[in-house]
Amino acid sequence: MKPRQEIRNALKHYRLQAGGMTQEDLALRVEVTRQTIFAMEKGNYNPSVGLALRLAAVFGVSVEELFQLEEGARDA
Amino acid sequence: MPSKKISELVRPKLVPTVAGALVILGFALANLTRGQAWWWCIVLTGLGTFGPGLLRELGWLKDKDEFEIQAARRAGYHAFLASGLAAFLWIAFVRSGPRQLKSPEELATFFAAILWFTWMFSSLVNYWGARKTAFRILLAYGAAWMAFNVLDELTHPVAMLMQSLLTVPFFLCAWLSRQWPRSAGVLLLVASVALFILIARVHEARGLGLVVSATTMVLFIGPLFASGIALLLRQSAESDPIQQEEP
């Protein structure tokens, strides 16, 4: 099921940029299951603020760089 | 293998294993031993089914991440809706005519079946997606039926082989659910209706009570019917592809 919030993320982009980190590697770094990483990358799950901050810290970027509102949602 | 990875692999399996053992032990002790007092052992089954969730809500058990918890809570709401609606339908049905319940405790089993089935199916779909859930359910059905047939016909190899052929449609449908989910969904709905008619007739011929029939339908046909609906309603090919580990 897709979440109602229109948020897209660049998780996969940063994960691949970080030396081909696997979903499993990232899941271990932020202490969730691989399924959770998969669901986030597919846009089926929006993480909590805490998890978003942990993910951003892993890639050394800001939360806003990882997660953005879709264009339509931002204008509304 | 790093130590954290080992704990990740072991920890999530421990709780379901202990809970599953309690469920089986409760049923086994209640059914295999003599005397009504032994039916108190069924409480073990209840503890196995609902205990881990209670411990998680109390904050004493932390074996799920936030996505898993969200899936479980959402499934809990779905279970509440399904069993609540079933309760009102049941009241309407019983009160609308001269109907007598043969054994009231079976009614509790019926509602527990609805509650448990809806929660389990919904949490699997929320967590895995429709396609993977349907695929695994069909594999489990096929494997369970095959094991039952093999054990039942151990001394008759030809009968065992013939009976095992009945499991082929489940495996075929599992494969189909990965390739053409919507076709598999339609097939599952048709098979569910056919099984519903078949089981209803068998139960009628044997004079089994309405509640027993309804519970059998929920637990046996429910997963197939729900898988069919889930496959038909899945939003797009992108929403739950069979997952591959990506680099």
Three state DSSP letters for B174-232:
HHHHHHCHHHHHHHHHHHHHHHHHHHHHHHHHHCCCHHHHHHHHHHHHHHHHHHHHHHH
Between B32 and B167, residue with greater pLDDT: B167
- What tokens does B82 get? 């399904």
> Which range is least confidently modeled, A66-70, B13-17, B74-78?
B13-17
The enclosing H or E element of B72 equals helix B66-95
List Cβ neighbours of B63 (8 Å cut-off, separation of 6 or more).
B11, B12, B14, B15, B52, B56
Task: Pick the residue from chain A with its C-alpha nearest to B129.
Answer: A1
Beta strands in A1-76 (DSSP E): 7-9, 67-69
**Chain segment B1-35, per-residue pLDDT in tens:** 344 444 454 455 788 889 889 988 988 888 777 67
Closest CB to B67: pick one of A22, A28, A45: A45
Q: pTM (2 decimals)?
A: 0.77
- What tokens does B112 get? 């527990």
CA distance A56 to chain B (A): 17
Does A35 sit within 8 Å of B67, measured CB to CB? yes
- Give mean pLDDT, residues A45-62: 94
**Chain segment A21-48, per-residue pLDDT in tens:** 999 999 999 999 999 999 999 888 999 9
Residue B156 has pLDDT above 90, yes or no: no
Which residues in chain B touch residue A44, judged by CB atoms under 8 angstroms apart? 129, 239-240
End-to-end Cα separation, chain B, in angstroms = 18
> Which range is least confidently modeled, B62-76, B104-118, B187-201?
B104-118
Does B239 sit within 8 Å of A20, measured CB to CB? no
- The domains located in chain A, with CATH, are 7-75 (1.10.260.40)
Distances (CA, A) of B207 to B22, B27, B90, B108, B216: 33, 25, 20, 20, 14
